Amino acid sequence: MPEGDTVWLTARNLNAALAGQRLTGFDLRVPTHADADLTGSTIDEVVSRGKHLLIRIGDHSLHSHLKMEGAWHLYRQGSGWRRPAFEARVILETLDWQAVGFALGITELLPIELESTAVGHLGPDLLGRDWDPAEATRRLLADPGLPVIIAILDQRNLAGIGNEYANELCFLRGLLPTRPIGAVLDVAGLLATAHRLLRANRERSIRSTTGDLRPGRTNWVYARAGLPCRRCGTRIERGRVGRGPLLQRDAYWCPHCQV
């Protein structure tokens, strides 16, 4: 599942291949931008902002979000694709590379001065150069009654956390997902743990919160409902947390280790 670390690594790899290169092909396969053509323009940089990816090309910013199924692939010219062509939403070509965005949840081409309309609402980015834990704390505590798992999933509070990390963070900090964020005694410690986790995983192809990269050993509680807790052996539970059915998120927890 794409989270902030996945998007950071994607942006780094795309930037290494494409920054400073002239586009020899430009194809946006979305109706609102089907006629757009930046062929001949130079790609300035590729950056991540939380779970959003921005490809800056002259006066434009190509904004994408992977959502659940999306991915960006890099291929040497002439290589076969590893996903079906009907899933391609973006094809950027240079002399040496094809960058293909598959099944992207969001694809939009913006004037560079309007980039903030796509990402300006985001809170401090855990993997950004401007990471600001004090500002993230202020935002989190602005709604103290919100369940902790929902508060840290809200990208307006801090950017980069998805459902997997949110559940694992609650376990690592000994917090029930339903505990109000205002009742968390050490919000600074929660954010420090989140920062360490994403930094530790940002260059890995396999995400792990346990420190173990072996299959089936990478998570403490996420997607482990009914299995024994790795610390105490209590059965991991699963439920839905949030305000209203449309805002509810899957939660996993150990009823012994988390209070």
Kind and range of the H or E run holding 165: helix 163-172
Task: Give the Cα separation of 11 and 134 in Å (integer).
Answer: 26
Structure tokens that stand for 239 in this block:
């439920």
Indicate the pairing of strand 71-76 with strand 97-102. Answer: antiparallel
> How many helices and strands (H and E) does the chain possess?
6, 10
Catalytic annotation present for 203? no
Q: Which of 3, 93, 164, 168 is catalytic?
A: 3
Write the DSSP assignment of 84-146 as a string of letters. -GGGEEEEEE-SSEEEEEES-SEEEEEEGGGTHHHHTT---BTTSTT--HHHHHHHHTTSTTS
Sheet holding 25-28, edge to edge: 25-28, 88-93, 97-102, 71-76
Q: Given the residues 2, 124, 147, 177, select the one marked as catalytic.
A: 2
Quote the tokens at residue 100: 């293909």
Task: Examine the residue annotation and report whether 180 is marked as an active-site residue of this protein.
Answer: no
Which one of the listed residues 51, 124, 147, 168 is annotated catalytic?
Answer: 51
**Is 124 part of the annotated catalytic residue set?**
no
- Report d(CA 126, CA 5) in Å as an integer: 9
On whether the CB atoms of residues 198 and 250 are closer than 8 A, the answer is no
**Rounded Cα distance, 254 and 57, in Å:** 47
Distance separating alpha carbons of residues 47 and 9, to the nearest angstrom? 10
Determine the Cα–Cα distance for residues 182 and 150; give it in Å rounded to an integer: 12
- Which residues are marked as active site? 2-3, 51
